[in-house]
Amino acid sequence: MKIHYACSSAEHGMARRHFLGSLATTGAGIMAGGLGVFSCPAVAEQLRSDQKRIVIFNMHGGLSQLESWDPKPGTDTGGPFLSIPTSVPGIHVSELLPLTAQQMHHLCLVRGVNTSEDDHGKGAYMMLTGRRQTPAGNYPQIGAVAAKSLTPANSALPGHILITPGGSGGRGNDSAYLGPKYSSIYLGNGNPPQNTTRPENIAETSDAARQDFRRKVNERFLNRRRTAVTEAFAYSYEQAEQLMRQRDVFDVTKEPAADLERYGTHDFGRHCLLARRLLEQGITCVQLSHSNYDTHNENFNFHIEQMGEFDRSFSCFVADLAARGMLDSTLIVVLSEFGRTPNINQYYGRDHWSKAWSVCLAGCRIPRGTVYGKTNANGTEVEDGQVDHGSLFHTYLQAAGVDSTGSFDIDGRDMPIADPATAAVSQLLT
């Protein structure tokens, strides 16, 4: 469902860079023999079995907590929808999430989020970086941090994928000082990245000979004039070649037709199935966008349709990860830049509200079938278990096995992985 009356924030657009063209600025350390060893099935399977992963569902615009994770039926702020029981006795969610309710025993609802920031751009930045935006510098988003911390050093596949309608393989600008190697690659519509097929007029044998010659020339050059720039340039070719060989990893049509139907034939359904496929193939961090929840008008009509899409696909995704034994190694995060006001405005909408809203978590070290935090009777403020963007960021990373209190060495300078002024929420880690 499209909304034409939402905020006209620039943040609702996303910058893109051409993927293969920007690979030349990625990491270093290439060997003349290429990255082929990492496409060996036995090695790849071992890497996947030992690797933690993160998947983020970004509900752009500001998902209403009252129409999802923290309903308040029968109150002056509750709106028209009821709450329903879940698979965990005593825990209720909105009636708009009947299928997700059946997966509650895998989930953890964090109902005491207070970020005190009602601006779309600033709120999104805070939730994805764990820090407030300042003119002094930029910080990497959770996907870039996860890619650097969790992806095997010479993985042939990128570590950070963002799935969004219209995504065609461009690079994001979300890795800050970690460098372009850890920037997201935008995918969409269940298709592989563009420009990853060998031209028909170049035979496979000819292409192999070209690549072999390139490696020999690179090796000779690097033996005499090795620098970080030259290594990065050589590495970019190797990663691009391996990506071309494994482009089927990104093709959701390779999944069974029954799964395509079960998840839903809309964009979000295909994207959730693609996310499952990517995680199974060892991609470290996948972010999906579902938008636009900026419901200043007709909040309730919009959530009926949009939550219907989300409920079907998300519940399938959680159930499949659990059935395939992937929840212990995969962290699931459902977030937004803020929630919606308990007050219902004159246009039957809800406005921006960051003082008392919800995030949904699952997997890795997150306790299952629980609720942490509580809002008051009409949802206007947090009564217990208050958390903010900084503490959540630490929690995400520690749940996935990353020491969030550590630092990255960036050109000899220690850069804290997460905001050192905050800490993880111990009650959200097992």
- pLDDT score of 112 more than 70: yes
pLDDT digits (tens, 9 = 90+) for 126-143: 999 999 999 988 999 999
Region 360-376: mean pLDDT is: 98
Phi and psi of 308, rounded to 5°? -65, -45
Give the pLDDT confidence score for residue 44 in this predicted structure.
44
Give the pLDDT confidence score for residue 7 in this predicted structure.
67
pLDDT interval class at 97 (50, 70, 90):
very high
Give the pLDDT confidence score for residue 227 in this predicted structure.
65
- pLDDT score of 352 more than 80: yes
420 in any annotated domain: yes
Give the pLDDT confidence score for residue 22 in this predicted structure.
38
- pLDDT score of 307 more than 90: yes
pLDDT interval class at 28 (50, 70, 90):
very low
Least confident range from 108-112, 193-197, 334-338: namely 193-197
236 in any annotated domain: no
391 in any annotated domain: yes
Give the pLDDT confidence score for residue 217 in this predicted structure.
84
The C-alpha atoms of residue 421 and residue 390 are separated, in whole angstroms, by 8
Cα 333–Cα 335–Cα 336 angle in degrees, nearest 5: 160
pLDDT interval class at 219 (50, 70, 90):
confident
Quote the number of domains for the chain.
1
Give the pLDDT confidence score for residue 46 in this predicted structure.
47
Give the pLDDT confidence score for residue 8 in this predicted structure.
55
- Residue 218 DSSP one-character state: H
Enter the tokens of residue 74. 């029968």
> Which range marks the domain in which residue 395 is found?
10-27+53-149+159-202+261-428
Give the pLDDT confidence score for residue 17 in this predicted structure.
36
Beta-carbon count within 10 A of 395 CB: 29
pLDDT digits (tens, 9 = 90+) for 33-58: 444 433 444 444 544 556 899 999 99
34 in any annotated domain: no
Strands 339-340 and 352-353 turn out to be antiparallel
The enclosing domain of 287 has a CATH number of 3.40.720
Give the pLDDT confidence score for residue 231 in this predicted structure.
61
pLDDT digits (tens, 9 = 90+) for 380-422: 999 999 999 999 999 999 999 999 999 999 989 999 999 999 9
33 in any annotated domain: no
Crossing angle between the packed helical segments 389-399 and 142-150, to the nearest 10 degrees:
30
Mean pLDDT of the chain: 86
Give the pLDDT confidence score for residue 210 in this predicted structure.
79
The C-alpha atoms of residue 260 and residue 256 are separated, in whole angstroms, by 7
Strands 413-416 and 370-372 turn out to be unpaired
166 in any annotated domain: yes
411 in any annotated domain: yes
What share of the chain has pLDDT > 70, as a percent? 81
275 in any annotated domain: yes
Give the pLDDT confidence score for residue 30 in this predicted structure.
34
pTM for the predicted model, two decimal places: 0.84
pLDDT digits (tens, 9 = 90+) for 251-278: 888 999 999 999 999 999 999 999 999 9
DSSP letters spanning 67-133: GTTS--TTSTTS-SPPEEE-SSTT-EEETT-HHHHTTGGGEEEEEEE------HHHHHHHHHHSS--
